[in-house]
């Protein structure tokens, strides 16, 4: 079942992981082993969660990498579906 307008995973990280723990972006980036710029891009919705970042998040927050990838996939799919009518695609059928 497709979610209605799911949040970007960066929003989830900020609101459910960093803010409750009182962790700054700089400290979180250091703990994750990434640059502040990289984490900031995710938190601000300018970059998505890569498989490697999903693993890093799963280690840092004791979650599953799959859950982070599912959130990213739901977000991406919902936004792609919003552009469905703009796509120029022909249906393929057997001859």
Tell me the pLDDT of the chain (95 aa) as tens digits.
566 899 999 999 999 999 999 999 999 999 999 999 999 999 999 999 999 999 999 999 999 999 999 999 999 999 999 999 999 999 999 98
The domain limits of the chain are 9-86
Q: State the pLDDT at residue 3.
A: 63
CATH architecture of the domain 9-86 equals Orthogonal Bundle (1.10)
Answer for the pair 84, 2: CB distance below 8 angstroms, yes or no: no
B/e letters for 51-70, b = 16+ CB within 10 Å, e = fewer, are eebbebbbeebeeebeebbe
């Amino acid at each position: 079942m497709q979610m209605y307008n799911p949040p970007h995973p960066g929003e989830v990280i900020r609101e459910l992981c960093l803010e409750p723990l009182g962790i700054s972006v700089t400290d979180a980036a250091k703990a994750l082993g990434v640059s502040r710029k990289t984490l900031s891009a995710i938190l601000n919705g300018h970059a998505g969660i890569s498989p490697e970042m999903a693993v890093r998040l799963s280690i840092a927050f004791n979650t599953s990498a799959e859950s982070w990838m599912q959130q990213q996939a739901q977000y991406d799919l919902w936004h792609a579906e919003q552009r469905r009518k703009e796509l120029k695609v022909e249906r393929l059928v057997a001859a």
